[in-house]
Amino acid sequence: MAETRRLRLALVTGNKHKLREAQEILSPYGIDLYMAGPEKIEIQADSLSKIAMVAARHAWESLGKPLIVDDSGLFIEALNGFPGPYSRYVYDTLGVDGILKLLEGEENRHACFKTAVALVLPPLEMVFEGKTCGTITTRPKGSSGFGFDPIFVPEGCSRTYAEMTVSEKNKVSHRAKAMKTLGSFIKSMF
Ligand code: ITT
């Protein structure tokens, strides 16, 4: 019987929800993802890809094992793309309610979630991106997921990410798109 090769890959994050979403996507591609703890440094920059790659290279220094870093953000059109790369800080300070307040009375609720996944698998260093657009609700709905999930309804859907199971979110999400591209790439390599 042919032996199936699987790749063990570390996800450097403090966010277990990201791990769960990404594990489900990557497993069919022969990738066993585990959470690794070296501190994820987060530089201030205007591009998620840059932030993810700097963090991934830094993590490699202490971990020395094949790894990925996922940096994601919510880009709101009426706020000129804010909070974008500053999403973590804005989530921790203003939270979901703060975003809804900023959009009070605003008719343009269009927004996009983006993910950049940086891979360090020496000598390879690559970034894979995913994007899903949709609308910001007027009040939080649902209790699953994390972060801004309760206020984001992806295009073509009637429920927020927080009203979906992990598998449902993975059918449409920004993270799933980035992880699938990563998965296909790795599968083609091994
Ligand atoms: P790590 O940096 O430790 O990986 P994090 O939660 O800080 O975890 P990011 O910096 O990538 O992740 O995300 C910035 C913010 O955007 C974060 O506070 C999340 O709340 C939010 N976010 C990221 N991905 C999301 C998603 O799929 N759904 C909802 N909110 C998300």
Nearest to 174 by CA among 65, 73, 53: 73
pLDDT in tens, 45-84: 889 999 999 999 999 999 999 999 999 999 999 999 999 9
pLDDT in tens, 3-30: 578 999 999 999 999 999 999 999 999 9
Domains of the chain with bracketed CATH: 7-189 (3.90.950.10)
Burial 64-95 (b: 16+ CB within 10 A, else e): ebbbbbbbbbbbbbebebbbbbebbebbeeee
Q: Is 73 close to ligand 1, i.e. is its CB under 6 Å away?
A: yes
pLDDT in tens, 110-159: 999 999 999 999 999 999 999 999 999 999 999 999 999 999 999 999 99
- 71 carries an active-site annotation: yes
Nearest to 144 by CA among 180, 169, 126, 122: 169
- pLDDT at site 66: 97
Q: How many angstroms does the Cα of residue 4 sit away from the middle of ligand 1? A: 33
The answer to whether the CB of 9 falls within 8 A of the CB of 27 is no
Q: How many angstroms does the Cα of residue 78 sit away from the middle of ligand 1? A: 21
Strands 124-136 and 152-154: antiparallel
d(CA 106, CA 138): 10
Confidence of residue 189 (pLDDT cuts 50, 70, 90): confident
Q: How many angstroms does the Cα of residue 64 sit away from the middle of ligand 1? A: 24
The answer to whether the CB of 120 falls within 8 A of the CB of 63 is no
The per-residue pLDDT of the chain, averaged, comes to 95
Nearest to 117 by CA among 184, 46, 179: 179
The structure tokens listed for 72 are: 């994601």
Q: Is 147 close to ligand 1, i.e. is its CB under 6 Å away?
A: yes
Counting ligand 1 atoms within 8 A of each CB, the residue from 88, 92, 160, 166 with the most, and so the one to mutate, is 88
- Atom number in ligand 1 closest to CA 91: 18
Instruction: Transcribe 8-42 into DSSP letters.
Output: EEEEE-S-HHHHHHHHHHHGGGTEEEEEE-S----
